[in-house]
Structure 1
């Protein structure tokens, strides 16, 4: 069965909790002000699409393709990106809420998060080399066996994790932020 194909289409202020988004291929489409909370977005292909001011909290994205997809001012609470198709995965986030989001074992080299709340997000075993966390809140974020080589966390806040459990070669941190890497040593930095 061939999937439908939609190109250069804009979806505005639609509630996809009630009417499911068609399983199809979407290319260069814009989703603005749409509600996908708790909905099924599985087995859908998104290429060069933009999500603006959308709620995708707890959406099922199993086996979906996200190739050059941007999210801005979106709520993505509890979304499990590790369930999507990892081939061609390319994402960016601007002013998004990614509380409890999971990126377990994903290859996210060069990913950019700008002014996002990533509270309790899980990056266990992810490749975040060359990633940027510009002015992001990383409170209780899980970095374990994560590749953060050359990642830029210099403007990120509230992170605490164990350097020994991650790859940090040439990663950038602010002087204030380094305290989050030393927390387990119970030392006082003045």
Structure 2
């Protein structure tokens, strides 16, 4: 961001390209319909900010932090978003990610109804206590991720990989799963399948 951008409080319909804005503390910023392209915003603290209908594309937003910040209809496309505590963002909260890395993050307790994580890497992510009804997780890798007391009703897990979901500890009615990954449900039963 240029010096003039740093002084502005509200940004509407702006495109930020190739910015390097690591470990900054941004307060009372409003971003509406903005795009961040090929940018590095790692480790920033957003305090009392709003992201409304914004897109991060081919950007690194890993380890960003939120305090009193709203996120509405945020899109991540080909992004690195590692180690983010999304649960710190205020409600309502909505995010769509495609071809992005969301590993080592937490969405604990968030209402993520209709969330889309398409062809993402979401390893070691905490989805405990989330409402993820009608979600689309097509092609996403969930290795080591936690689903505990999570509402996954009508969720789409087609081509998703490496999930471990206990049917007794989560709501999964109407969800779509695909073989062979769906065999992971048998792990919670303590049985072994052999050829």
TM (norm. structure 1) is 0.93
Question: Which ranges of structure 1 fall in alignment gaps of 5 or more residues?
Answer: none
Q: CA deviation at 1:19?
A: 5.4
Aligned-partner Cα distance in 1 for 2:187–2:97: 28
The Cα RMSD (Å) is: 1.6
Structure 2 equivalent of residue 25 of structure 1: 30
Structure 2 equivalent of residue 119 of structure 1: 123
Query: Which string of whole-angstrom CA distances, capped at 9 and with x for unpartnered residues, describes residues 70-107 of structure 1?
Result: 011111111011000112x1210001101111000000
Q: CA deviation at 1:22?
A: 5.7
Instruction: Say which of 54, 63, 67 aligns to 2:72.
Output: 67
Q: Is the 8 A contact 1:154 1:177 kept in 2?
A: no
Structure 2 equivalent of residue 175 of structure 1: 179
3-state secondary structure, aligned to 1:163: coil
Q: Which moved more, 1:89-98 or 1:58-67?
A: 58-67
Query: Which string of whole-angstrom CA distances, capped at 9 and with x for unpartnered residues, describes residues 124-153 of structure 1?
Result: 000000001010001111000000000011
Q: Which moved more, 1:101-110 or 1:170-179?
A: 170-179
Aligned-partner Cα distance in 1 for 2:99–2:133: 21
Does 2:136 align with 1:132? yes
Q: Is the 8 A contact 1:149 1:168 kept in 2?
A: yes
Q: CA deviation at 1:7?
A: 0.4
Quickly say closer, same or farther: Cα 1:158–1:19, change in 2 above 3 A.
closer
Q: Across the two proteins, how many residue pairs are aligned to each other?
A: 187
3-state secondary structure, aligned to 2:187: helix
Q: CA deviation at 1:20?
A: 4.9
Runs of 4+ in 1 over 6 A off after TM superposition: none
Question: Which ranges of structure 2 fall in alignment gaps of 5 or more residues?
Answer: 1-7
Q: CA deviation at 1:42?
A: 2.7
Query: Which string of whole-angstrom CA distances, capped at 9 and with x for unpartnered residues, describes residues 28-78 of structure 1?
Result: 111111111111123210111110111111111222111111011111111
Structure 1 equivalent of residue 47 of structure 2: 42
Structure 1 equivalent of residue 4 of structure 2: none
Q: CA deviation at 1:21?
A: 4.7
Structure 2 equivalent of residue 102 of structure 1: 106
3-state secondary structure, aligned to 1:31: strand
